[in-house]
Amino acid sequence: MNRRELITKVFIGGTVIALAPDIITSCTKTDVPGGTNSNKATVDLTDQNYSALNSAGGSALISKYGIIIANTGNDVFVALDSTCTHQGCTIGYNKTSNNFPCPCHGSVFSTNGAVITGPAQQSVQSHTVTKAGNTLTIELG
């Protein structure tokens, strides 16, 4: 092995060792907002960032966890993965139609994540939401 090969291998190996912990932990959901359980996220409805959720038809995107939450009325909350299964655009919530349209190619998802209109062919994942007082708990797992 010549000097150049050795330096290259040491550099690559060092980079892998330095980045491995960050890569591994970036794939987990342990630092949820306000929560400590790795499978759950909590949302404080008194937080201004989530104030829209206090009204029927309001929604909030929590891009850090890849979910969108909507208040569909009568204190019923829905949480879905926010990434369209067609080509990865971020879906929104349409309170008039009570569904989740994708602005990029027109896919529409129901409140349980099922495809209503394509081109998406796969549902987006739905997450269980529970409310206790002013706190929503979203099951991420």
Mean pLDDT value across the chain: 82
- The residue whose two tokens read 């960050």 is 22
Percent of the chain with pLDDT over 90: 54
Tokens found for residue 9: 């291998």
Q: How far apart are the first and last CA of the chain?
A: 47
Q: What's CA 113's distance to the chain center, in Å?
A: 13
pLDDT digits (tens, 9 = 90+) for 56-101: 999 999 888 899 999 999 889 999 999 899 888 999 999 999 999 9
Question: Cα separation of 140 and 39, whole Å?
Answer: 5
**Whole-number pLDDT of residue 45:** 93
* pTM given for the model: 0.71
Specify whether the CB–CB gap between 29 and 41 falls below 8 A.
yes
Burial of 3 (0-12, 13-18, 19+ CB in 10 A): exposed
User: Stretch 51-57: mean pLDDT, rounded?
Assistant: 93
**Sign of torsion, CA 69 70 76 79?**
negative
Query: Would you identify the CATH topology of the domain 40-139?
Result: Rieske Iron-sulfur Protein (2.102.10)
At residue 75's C-alpha, the angle toward residues 90 and 70, to 5°, is 5
pLDDT digits (tens, 9 = 90+) for 13-36: 656 566 655 544 444 443 444 444
**Whole-number pLDDT of residue 9:** 67
pLDDT band at 10 (very low <50, low <70, confident <90, very high): low
